[in-house]
Amino acid sequence: MRLDKYLWAVRLYKTRSLAADACQNGRVKMTTDMRELKPSHDVKPGERYSLNIDQLHKEIEVLALPPNRVGAPLVQGFMIDRTPQEEYERIQMARRYAYEQRGRGLGRPTKKERREIEQFKQQ
C-alpha cells in the first residue's frame, strides 16, 4: 500500500491529497534514518514513521495494512501511536495559552491580536 493512501486510511489526514502533500513537503519521515518519504513509498508492517501535523509531532508504528479507509474505532488495529504524552501536553498548553488568555467579555480579538495568535501557533 502507498504511504499517502495508508495515512489517509488510518485517519491521520482528512484527504489523500493532504497526505500526499505532507509527504512531498517533507513532513513525513522514516523514524529509523529520518529520511523524507515520497507518497508512493510502500508501507510495510513494523515500520515507524514520524509526522508533523500542524504543530503536533506524531510518531506511529504500522501494525497491518487496512483494505480501505477504516472507521475511527478500528484504527487501533492498524497502527500504534508512539507519540510521547509530553507532546500532547505541549499542544494542549499552547492551545490554552492562545485561546484562553482573553478575559471574558472582551469580545473578538483585534487584527493585531489575531496575528499574534497565528504567529504563536506556528512556533
- Domain limits of the chain? 1-83, 84-123
Q: Does residue 49 contact residue 38 with C-beta atoms inside 8 Å? A: no
The pLDDT of residue 62: 96
Per-residue pLDDT at 99: 57
CATH class label, 1-83: alpha beta
pLDDT score of 101: 63
| Low-confidence spans in the chain with pLDDT less than 70 | 96-102, 123
Distances (CA, A) of 85 to 60, 80, 82, 115: 13, 14, 9, 29
Q: What is the pLDDT at residue 121?
A: 72
Determine the pLDDT at residue 52: 92
